[in-house]
Amino acid sequence: MGGILVFAEQRDGTLRKASLEAVSEGRRLAGDKELAVLIAGSEPAALAPEAARHGADRVLLASDPRLALYAPGAYARAAAAAVAACDPDLFLLPASAMGKDLAARVAARLGTGLASDCVAVTAGPQGYTARRPVYSGKAFATVAFEGARPAMATLRPNVFPVASPPRPGRGETASLDVRLEEKDFRSRAVSVQAAKGTTLDVAEADIVVSGGRAMQGPENFKYIKMLAEALGGAVGASRAAVDAGWIDHQHQVGQTGKVVSPSLYIACGISGAIQHLAGMSSSKVIVAINKDAEAPIFKIADYGIVGDLYQVIPLMVEEIRKVRG
The footprint of another protein on residues 29-58 (CB under 8 A) is none
Query: How would you label 257-286 residue by residue, b for 16+ Cβ within 10 Å and e otherwise?
Result: bbbbbbebbbbbbbbbbebbbbbbbbbeeb
Which helix H or strand E contains 317, and what residues bound it?
A: helix 309-324
Q: What single-letter amino acid sits at 60?
A: L
**Minimum CB distance to another protein smaller for 59 or for 267:** 267
Residue ranges in 78-107 that form contacts with another protein under rule CB under 8 A: 96-98, 100-101, 103-105, 107
Task: Yes or no: say if 236 and 268 are a contact pair by the CB < 8 Å rule.
Answer: no
d(CA 90, CA 115): 11
Stretch that binds another protein, among 27-35, 173-181, 209-217, 314-322 (CB under 8 A): 314-322
The DSSP call for residue 113 is -
* C-alpha R_g of the chain: 21
Stretch that binds another protein, among 21-29, 43-51, 56-64, 286-294 (CB under 8 A): 286-294
Residues in binding contact with another protein, number by CB under 8 A: 100
Exactly one of 10, 116, 210, 271 binds another protein (CB under 8 A); which one?
Answer: 116
d(CA 291, CA 29): 46
CB of residue 214 vs another protein: minimum separation in angstroms? 15
CB of residue 54 vs another protein: minimum separation in angstroms? 20
Stretch that binds another protein, among 26-34, 45-53, 167-175, 190-198 (CB under 8 A): 190-198
Q: Does 141 bind another protein (CB under 8 A)?
A: yes
Does a cis peptide bond (omega within 30 degrees of 0) precede residue 150? yes
Stretch that binds another protein, among 20-28, 36-44, 211-219, 255-263 (CB under 8 A): 255-263
Exactly one of 49, 175, 217, 303 binds another protein (CB under 8 A); which one?
Answer: 303
Closest of 29, 44, 205 to residue 122, by C-alpha: 29
d(CA 30, CA 15): 21
**Minimum CB distance to another protein smaller for 246 or for 298:** 298
Q: Does 311 bind another protein (CB under 8 A)?
A: yes
- Site pattern 194..233 for another protein (x: CB under 8 A): xx--xxxx-xx--x-----------------------x--
C-alpha pair distances (Å), 325 with each of 115, 223, 321: 43, 21, 6
**Minimum CB distance to another protein smaller for 229 or for 248:** 248
Exactly one of 3, 169, 257, 269 binds another protein (CB under 8 A); which one?
Answer: 257
Closest of 220, 207, 214, 219 to residue 238, by C-alpha: 214
d(CA 76, CA 287): 41
CB of residue 180 vs another protein: minimum separation in angstroms? 14
Q: Does 5 bind another protein (CB under 8 A)?
A: no
d(CA 48, CA 45): 5
Exactly one of 65, 219, 323, 325 binds another protein (CB under 8 A); which one?
Answer: 323
